[in-house]
Chain A
Amino acid sequence: MISTVVLTTGLTLLLIGLWGILRHRNILRIVIAFSLIGTGTHIVIVAIGYVENGTAAIIDRGLSAAEAPMRAVDPIPSALTVTAIVIGLAVTAIMLAFAIRLYEAKKTLSIDAFTESKW
């Protein structure tokens, strides 16, 4: 149940991001849309790893090592998400750097001004 809600949220974010990329002409908005797609994907990955009535895979007073295999959520999607967040940040940083250079070249952030590589 919970994972279905989370999955729907993630996929909705993905859709919004996709719509933003197709619809908007401002490069900054496109970068934001890319980030939305990334965030949506992270949420989807975490939702897939959820186990019914599971808790975070951290052994402490609330979760003994013996009962952890029964009650913990899948730790692999969580680990993957940490990786994915860092890569998402890296991609965003590079996109923003290119946006700055594109703005310097044409003094506009509209994607319509950059038609050289259009076929």
Chain B
Amino acid sequence: MIRRAGIALAITLFGLMFAGLVLHHVERRTLPPLGKRYVELVPQELGAANVVTGILLTYRGFDTLGEVAVLFMVAAGVGLVLDKRGRRNEGQRRGTRSPPRQASEIVRTGAQILLPLLAIFAAYIIMHGHLSAGGGFQGGAVLASGLVLSLFADPQQRLDQRFLSRTESAAGVLFVLVGVAGLLFAGGFLDSRVLPLGQFGAFFSAGSIPVLSVLLGIKVGCELSVIIDRFRT
């Protein structure tokens, strides 16, 4: 009873606080100075149509690198927590468990049709990160969702962990190398102007942003795949 009252009190107080936030919220009419500067600079300096991608991969590219490192650490951390050798009652559990059920025909056929489409869609999202809504993280997530579908269709299949981790490391090393190239040949670490900017809005434009996008997409896709695979028993 006391607990319930405590919860109700806490929620009410938070609700009052949030209500105050909402009531005093005034919708912006103009961009704040920093946002305005980015909106002006990204098309001008970087030649990227998508301002958010320009910020993520160049002006705050270092943040993105750290974020990918976080994903990598999560993959490692989940592997550590769910380490199969460390489990005590592994054999006992396996003994009592019935053999996994086959996926239904609908799922298997659907996966066959959808998987190529998902792969193309992921590649499209990754490659158009500098032109329209999209980018490495989003495309990588679509790639990993395709992997989930294929795991649903065939639960028995084994993933080549070594291939995934090697691809991921290679993409990470190349990402840093492109960053260092920015340090040597342009304004600073991860500066995308190491490659020609090209024509604004064209497929090959915006310097090294599409390259970074692809590397990021591969890396995120591999990392998410590893995380998903670790959750399978």
A residues near B, CB below 8 A? 1-4, 7-8, 11, 14-15, 18-19, 22-23, 49-52, 56-60, 65, 68-70, 72-76, 78-79, 82-83, 85-87, 90, 93-94, 96-98, 100-101, 104
Contact = CB atoms under 8 A, between A and B. Distances in A.
B124 to A, nearest CB: 16
A58 B51 contact: yes
Contacts of B88: 104
B7 A23 contact: yes
A74 B56 contact: no
B31 A69 contact: yes
Interface stretch (B32-40, B105-113, B163-171, B188-196): B32-40
Interface in B39-98: 39-40, 42-44, 49-52, 55-56, 60, 63-64, 67, 70-71, 73-74, 77-78, 81-82, 87-89
Contacts of B81: 94, 97-98, 100-101
Interface residues of B, number: 56
B22 A8 contact: yes
Given A58-B50, A76-B34, A93 B18 contact: no
Interface of B: 7, 10-11, 14-15, 18, 21-22, 25, 27-32, 34-36, 38-40, 42-44, 49-52, 55-56, 60, 63-64, 67, 70-71, 73-74, 77-78, 81-82, 87-89, 131-133, 135, 137, 200-201, 220, 227, 230-231
Given A58-B50, A60-B49, A75-B55, A51 B30 contact: yes
A76 B55 contact: yes
A94 B55 CA distance: 28
Nearest to B18: A11
A34 to B, nearest CB: 15
A56 B11 contact: no
Given A15-B14, A82-B137, A87-B70, A60 B22 contact: no
A97 B11 contact: no
Contacts of A82: 52, 56, 135, 137
A86 B18 CA distance: 25
Given A72-B39, A75-B39, A51 B52 contact: no
B25 A3 contact: yes
A49 B56 CA distance: 16
12 contacts: A3-B27, A7-B21, A14-B18, A51-B30, A58-B51, A59-B201, A65-B200, A90-B73, A94-B77, A94-B78, A96-B231, A97-B231
A72 B56 contact: no
A72 B87 CA distance: 53
